[in-house]
A and B are shown apart, each in its own frame.
Chain A
Amino acid sequence: MNRLRQCLLFLIALGGFALGGCATVEPWERDLHAREDMRPNEHDAAIDDHIYFSKEASSGGRGFAGGGCGCN
């Protein structure tokens, strides 16, 4: 059942891409995308992921699940 939900979600997302792909944004229209605040803050994300990894049964998603600690 869970696998099914995942596949469904992935297919919906792929559909979203297909729709989004119709509107090509040219390089000279990327000023807003180039803004620093439109990029994930990898440093903060790494700190947060380590905390959540230590307190929850899930990890990863955006990147690798990671690990490397015997966190209590």
Chain B
Amino acid sequence: MQLKKPIGATLASATCSLLGALPAAPVAAQEVPTWQVDTALLYYGEDAGRVSDGSLATSIRRVLDEDRSFSLNLTVDALTGATPNGAVPSNGVQTFTSPSGGESYRVAAGEAPLDPNFKDTRVALSGSWQQALGDSMRWNVGFSGSDEMDYLHLGLDTRLERDFNRRNTTVFVGAAYGRDEVRPLGGAPIGFSPMIPSVGGGEDDEGEGEGGETKDVIDALIGVTQILSRRSLVEVALSYGKSDGYLTDPYKILSVVSPVTGAPVPGPVGSGLNLYLHEQRPDTRTKQSVFAEWRYAFDRDSLAISYRLMDDDWGVTSNTAEARYRWNISENNYLEPHLRYYKQGAADFYRTVLFAGAPLPQFASADYRLADNETYTAGIKYGHRTERGEFSVRLEYYHQTATPSPGSAIGDLANFDLVPPLNAVIAQFGYKSSF
């Protein structure tokens, strides 16, 4: 009786014998899977009644042959909760108008002003085609699109890879173009125009936004992956991005306060509101980043450490460091702890408040995401492989603290947390399989 042995294993043994080396592990012939499915159910929840998101993300990859494959990714997000509107707390009750102008909401004295009307569903679809071009080149072309109540994105991307140095070095270049349409509820406000009171009969905040504002985004990427040793490799990528068009957040406002007491000043006569001005950002943004990742394989486990440096012409510079350790407990079980640290400097035009009587700057935003901030993320993932595929559960904790712009905490404002910290949990259940 003849014993059957996979041809790959036979070849590997033969090759190693010829070269006088021992294979570190049995090498089995690998069949190309026809389908690969990766699905995740995600919950993202912020504290203090802020944003929560229930999300389903599915990727399907079809391998046609050794040279060609395509993939499709679908994500559906259901978002609810409250989001900071940009104003600061005060000693009195504050009233704000909802984005559509149809409703108003009140914020208690000393409370962080949150717009409670945030509710959205986002559907995103992307796909790509991968094609080998000879033995050492691969080409990828893809599309992306997403739709929300007030936002539409359409994009195209492409990437070319080439191997050198007996496949120890891979150089890649890529480019992407996106065109986004912003359809703010109630229309896009004019920069620095005051919030006006609810007029009644405005459109429902859950309705479709109004069209008219667009932005174009171009990204370019060049990088290299280099195998350093039998156990390690490094990847470095340099990227450049340029956005052109409507980059303002139509829902964010700034409080105008007394430069002496820090109290809000009255808004337009007869409005009954304090003075809140709509933010205004530049209409272009150019950013560049350097990303480097080092991966190392132990006999059983592996480690990945990455770093990213980014800066842009809005004055934001950020540093991101991230590490993952894959602890392969057994053949079918693993744990993966994850740590991430992120720190950014504020955009030049970030202002926690504007002061009454002072000339208006050319641009200003009180969006906490443009403030000087620092973030820690810690998480762990557990994976279990079965004959039917891999099941996983992942938990992450996200903590962000931001610093108000210098000179903001004057008078009454010194008593408040002008930019409240953000805490969020992320829980993800995953399933992936090849068949």
Which A residues have a C-beta under 8 Å from some C-beta of B?
Answer: 2-3, 5-6, 9-10, 13-14, 16-17, 20-21, 23-33, 35, 37-38, 40, 42-44, 46-47, 50-52, 55-58, 60-65, 67-70, 72
Contacts of A51 in B (CB 8 A): 44, 398, 424, 426
Partner of A72, one of B51, B75, B155, B314: B51
> Which chain B residues in 100-155 approach chain A with CB under 8 Å?
118, 122, 124, 144-146, 148, 150-151, 153, 155
Please tell me if the beta carbons of A28 and B73 are within 8 angstroms of each other in the complex. no
Taking beta carbons and an 8 Å cutoff, which residues of B are in contact with A?
Answer: 12, 15-16, 19, 21, 23-25, 27, 38, 40, 42, 44, 51, 55, 57, 59, 73, 75, 79, 83, 118, 122, 124, 144-146, 148, 150-151, 153, 155, 157, 165-169, 174, 176, 178, 180, 182, 217, 219, 221, 224, 226-231, 233-239, 241, 249, 251, 287-293, 295, 297, 301-302, 304, 306, 308-312, 314, 316-318, 320, 326, 328, 334, 342, 344, 347, 369-370, 373, 375, 381, 394, 398, 400, 422, 424, 426, 428, 430, 432
Given known contacts A24-B168, A56-B375, is B297 in contact with A38 (CB within 8 Å)?
Answer: yes
Q: Please, which residues of chain A bring their CB within 8 A of the CB of B153? A: 67-69
Option from A31, A32, A60 in Cβ contact (under 8 Å) with B219: A60
Taking CB atoms, residues of chain B closer than 8 Å to A6 are 238, 288-290, 309, 311
A-B contact pairs, 9 of them (CB 8 A): A24-B165, A27-B167, A30-B230, A32-B297, A37-B297, A55-B400, A56-B375, A61-B306, A69-B146
In the complex, the answer to whether B238 meets A33 with C-beta atoms within 8 Å is no
- The answer to whether B169 touches A28 (Cβ under 8 A) is no
Give Cα distance in the complex from A68 to B293, angstroms: 26
Q: CB < 8 Å: which of B124, B290, B317 contacts A68?
A: B124
A27 to B326 Cα, complex, angstroms:
24
CB nearest to B233 among chain A residues: A33
Enumerate the 7 nearest inter-chain pairs by beta-carbon distance, A residue then B residue, closest first.
A68-B153, A61-B291, A70-B151, A32-B297, A20-B228, A2-B311, A61-B308
Asked if A64 contacts B168 (CB within 8 A), the reply is: no
* Residues B289 and A61 in contact, CB atoms below 8 Å apart: yes
Q: What residues on A are CB-neighbors of B157 within 8 Å? A: 64
A56 to B75, CA, bound (A): 21
Other 10 A-B pairs with CB < 8 A, given A6-B309, A31-B27, A69-B151: A16-B228, A42-B59, A46-B73, A51-B426, A58-B318, A60-B289, A63-B237, A65-B287, A67-B153, A67-B217
What's the dominant secondary structure at chain B's contact region?
A: strand
In the complex, chain B residues whose CB is within 8 Å of the CB of A46 = 57, 73
Chain B residues near A63 (CB-CB < 8 A): 174, 221, 237
**Residues in A neighbouring B238, C-beta threshold 8 A:** 6, 10
| Contact A43–B311 (Cβ < 8 Å) | no
Shortest beta-carbon distance from A72 to chain B in Å: 4
A58, B320: Cβ atoms under 8 Å?
yes
A25:B344 contact, CB within 8 angstroms: no
Are the C-beta atoms of A24 and B217 separated by less than 8 Å? no
Closest to A37 in B: B326
Given A25-B168, A28-B23, A69-B153, CB of A47 within 8 Å of CB of B309: no
Contact A70 B182 (CB under 8 A): yes
CA distance A55 to B424 in the complex (A): 11
Among A28, A33, A43, A65, the residue within 8 A (CB) of B432 is: A43
Contact between A20 and B15 (Cβ–Cβ < 8 Å)? no
